[in-house]
Amino acid sequence: MNKHETCPCGSGCSFAHCCESIIKHDNADSAETLMRSRYSAYVLGYWDYLHLSWHPDTRPSSVSPTSTNWRGLNIINASHDTVEFIAAFKEGSAVMALHEISRFQQCDGHWRYVDGTCDVSETGRS
């Protein structure tokens, strides 16, 4: 991704002035910015960062690459430690929506993804 392209997280800022610095320096200042950076990491394939950004109590042993074609992120609600969002993605010819309420917690001075409740539904076909 060109550093001047718009960040995948939907902020409207360039990737270089948005999620790139969070991904490279692990410095999210809120649960929402961590969530946005995790979405961008899924879109762009920053698997090591995704693993690191998980809370140690719920962190899987590894995070594997996927072939999911992420299409957009919409933040519904964000509070101190919870973010509700809808992420659109495409699998085959189906356009899907992941609706999740994610929980975050600070650990050693860094925001970490703990877990979430989610629902996946098909929204259409292309």
Checking if the pLDDT of 3 tops 70, the result is no
Which residue range(s) make up the domain with 112?
15-125
Residue 24: inside a domain, yes or no? yes
Helix/strand/coil (H, E, C) string of the chain?
CCCCCECCCCCCCEHHHCHHHHHHHCCCCCHHHHHHHHHHHHHHCCHHHHHHCECCCCCCCCCCCCCCEEEEEEEEEECCCEEEEEEEEEECCEEEEEEEEEEEEEECCEEEEEEEEEEEEEEEEC
Domain count, the chain: 1
Q: How confident is the model at residue 32 (pLDDT cuts 50, 70, 90)?
A: very high
In a domain, 4, yes or no: no
Q: The CATH number of the domain where 106 resides is what? A: 3.10.450.50
Distance CA 14, CA 17 (A): 5
**In-domain check, residue 5:** no
Averaged over 71-81, what is the pLDDT?
96
Q: Judge whether 71 lies within some domain.
A: yes
| pLDDT greater than 80 at residue 2 | no
Task: Say what the pTM is.
Answer: 0.93
Is residue 102 in a domain?
A: yes
- Return the pLDDT at 88: 96
